[in-house]
Amino acid sequence: MNTDLEIARSVQLRPIQEVAQKLNVPADELELYGKYKAKLPLHLIEESRWKKSKLILVSAISPTPAGEGKTTVSIGLSEGLNRNGHQTCVVLREPSLGPVFGIKGGATGGGWSQVLPMEDINLHFTGDFSAIEKAHNLLAALIDNNLQSKTRSLGIDPRTVLWKRVLDMNDRALRQVVIGLGGTASGVPRETGFDITAASEIMAILCLAKDRKDLKERLGNIFVGFTFDKQPIYARDLNAQGAMAALLKDAIQPNLVQTIEGNPAIIHGGPFANIAQGTNSVIATRMGLSLADYVVTEAGFGFDLGAEKFFDIKCQSAGLSPRAVVLVATIRALKYHGGVALSDLKENNPEAVRAGLPNLEKHLENIGLFGIPAVVAINRFAGDSDEEVAIVQQRATELGVEAVVADGWAEGGGGTTQLAEAVVEAIDRSEGDFRPLYDWDLPVEEKIATVAAKIYGAKAIDYTAKAKADLRKIAGLGLDKLPVCIAKTQKSLSDNPKLLGRPKDFVVTVREIEIAAGAGFLIPITGNIMRMPGLPAEPAAEHIDIDAEGNITGLF
């Protein structure tokens, strides 16, 4: 069997100008980055067009170690739609560099459903993550510089500064650090830490900004901490937003690349799906919809995390009206939810599939809450038995939903035309009456309760003393009208990662509530959130290499 990298290498890439033609973008509009990558100018976004085109969200059941393949299905589906004659662009997140050197390889799809050039996209790409990292760390440097200042001090209490630094690297030793050591010339000693760049609030901001003006305003709104007099300090108090926005001059423009079959793919931004909105940028989505009749996009983790935030935060903020959800499931993942051990997932086990179905069912119910039609995509793996597949399809039919086998991994667009057809039919049948789950103007606790009860299936919410204090702080800052971006484990519908399938009668505990005033949401934390991964005992980095001609190996 070929590796993803071998498959990627076997494909003759088209000049990116040819790919742009499929979106009717003239070559001279492109800001080229080599021959196969380009940035798109923001003036190509047209409201009259993006409001009319059809937005399809690819989401998934609760993730398992077996893997579900949302990105692969998203890319495959866009190939299928294009094969069926529907002008389609897939719009995805940019992969994070750090994890490439850890366990997994890249995040550009797999098999015959990939976006290319995969080495570039998985490494520095067009520098967006680096720009975000620099903008983030500039604010940190300005904060510590103000702590050091005698003449222009804002009186910031260093113990209240929540703004950390970021690096796009799996580097656990940086999670908790003490900086400012070495005497009076080298800053004020204080505790802080580093997150991975994808976890930066700047990433969330860039991906929610509608244009450069909105970007700068959001950057200025970043909440930094308090003065010794308990007054809030925002990034604008440090005059940081102009320079930060200047650093993001190019990063705000979406990137155009191609799929294996030479179709357009826009890749832009990559925020986390627990502490942030987990989806590509508003600008990229609007760009895709401005240039193509259909846009396929995805949101991180399961429907309860990425998709809920996609709808309630991104779509509500940006006025997007998604037309369909493709819910990705695999036979293996369903068996895992049905109680089968990871090592036994390859064995035929129809009963386990049946036992895992309640997880799928709950996510389908949740999709219904948003008024959008759903299609189940069974992402095919070698070894899935016909009987197992039939069980899923039968149950879906009982629920009034079509479940289609997708085999974009092995067959590219040829394996997804049926799925594409089902999606187009679902869109054509529905009225397109997307509605978000809650109103942003509701009290914070009510917003949390709505998501926890309706989406997760919780019977109650518990708040720690810290979380209650945070609620008061948020009210005091006048930030209680922001939507809630609940940080929860992706492994379970509940906040307990061990509860597979469809947990019931559980209580969700809100431990604290963070403020992302720049991004424009609150982050109720319901568990341990990893913002800076570590490397494994044998890092993938040890096997990555490049030859004298510049050919990279070991990326997958």
Q: Which residues are catalytic?
A: 70, 72, 93, 104, 273, 301, 381, 409
**In the complex, what is the shortest distance from the CB of residue 201 to a copy of itself, in angstroms, rounded to a whole number?**
17
- Closest to a copy of itself by CB, 459 vs 543, is 543
Calpha distance 160→455 (Å, rounded):
34
Of residues 34-53, those binding a copy of itself (CB under 8 A):
34-35, 39
Tell me: is residue 68 an annotated ligand-binding position. Answer: yes
Q: Say if CB 266 and CB 40 are below 8 A apart.
A: yes
Give helix 386-398 / helix 350-369 axis angle, nearest 10°.
30
Give one word for 202, left, alpha or beta, with left for phi > 0 and alpha for psi -120 to 50.
Answer: alpha
**In the complex, what is the shortest distance from the CB of residue 219 to a copy of itself, in angstroms, rounded to a whole number?**
11
**In the complex, what is the shortest distance from the CB of residue 320 to a copy of itself, in angstroms, rounded to a whole number?**
22
- Residue 244 vs residues 73, 193, 223: alpha-carbon distances, Å: 35, 20, 15
Tell me: is residue 64 an annotated ligand-binding position. Answer: yes
**In the complex, what is the shortest distance from the CB of residue 47 to a copy of itself, in angstroms, rounded to a whole number?**
16
Tell me: is residue 285 an annotated ligand-binding position. Answer: no
Of residues 287-346, those binding a copy of itself (CB under 8 A):
none
Calpha distance 294→322 (Å, rounded):
11
Among the listed residues 174, 275, 329, 420, the single contact to a copy of itself using CB under 8 A: 174
**In the complex, what is the shortest distance from the CB of residue 546 to a copy of itself, in angstroms, rounded to a whole number?**
4
- Residue 346 vs residues 39, 336, 355: alpha-carbon distances, Å: 42, 11, 16
Which residue's structure tokens are 């401005």?
290
Tell me: is residue 220 an annotated ligand-binding position. Answer: no
Which range in 25-33, 58-66, 284-292, 316-324 contacts a copy of itself by CB under 8 A?
25-33
Angle at 39 between CA 34 and CA 40, to 5 degrees: 140
Assigned token pair, 334 = 């369903």
Of residues 87-126, those binding a copy of itself (CB under 8 A):
97, 101, 119, 123-124
Of residues 509-538, those binding a copy of itself (CB under 8 A):
534-535, 537-538
Give helix 417-429 / helix 70-83 axis angle, nearest 10°.
80
Q: Which of 255, 107, 166 is nearest to 533 (CA)?
A: 166
Of residues 204-243, those binding a copy of itself (CB under 8 A):
211-213, 216, 238-240, 242-243
Which range in 138-146, 320-328, 352-360, 508-516 contacts a copy of itself by CB under 8 A?
138-146
Calpha distance 121→116 (Å, rounded):
7
User: Is residue 249 at the binding interface for a copy of itself, with CB under 8 A as the rule?
Assistant: yes
- Closest to a copy of itself by CB, 389 vs 544, is 544
Calpha distance 99→539 (Å, rounded):
10
- Closest to a copy of itself by CB, 124 vs 435, is 124
Tell me: is residue 270 an annotated ligand-binding position. Answer: no
Half-sphere exposure of residue 2, counting CA atoms within 13 Å on the CB side? 14
- Closest to a copy of itself by CB, 407 vs 512, is 512
Among the listed residues 178, 460, 475, 507, the single contact to a copy of itself using CB under 8 A: 178
CB 420: neighbour CB atoms within 10 A? 29
Assigned token pair, 537 = 């005992």
Among the listed residues 21, 29, 127, 453, the single contact to a copy of itself using CB under 8 A: 127
Tell me: is residue 468 an annotated ligand-binding position. Answer: no
Per-residue buried b or exposed e for 38-61, using 16+ beta carbons within 10 Å of the residue's own CB: bbbeeebbeeeebeebbbbbbbbb
**In the complex, what is the shortest distance from the CB of residue 512 to a copy of itself, in angstroms, rounded to a whole number?**
17
- Closest to a copy of itself by CB, 85 vs 550, is 550
- Closest to a copy of itself by CB, 74 vs 96, is 96
Count of residues in contact with a copy of itself, rule CB under 8 A: 85
- Closest to a copy of itself by CB, 199 vs 333, is 199
**Residue numbering of the annotated binding site:** 64-71
**Residue numbering of the annotated binding site for ATP:** 64-71
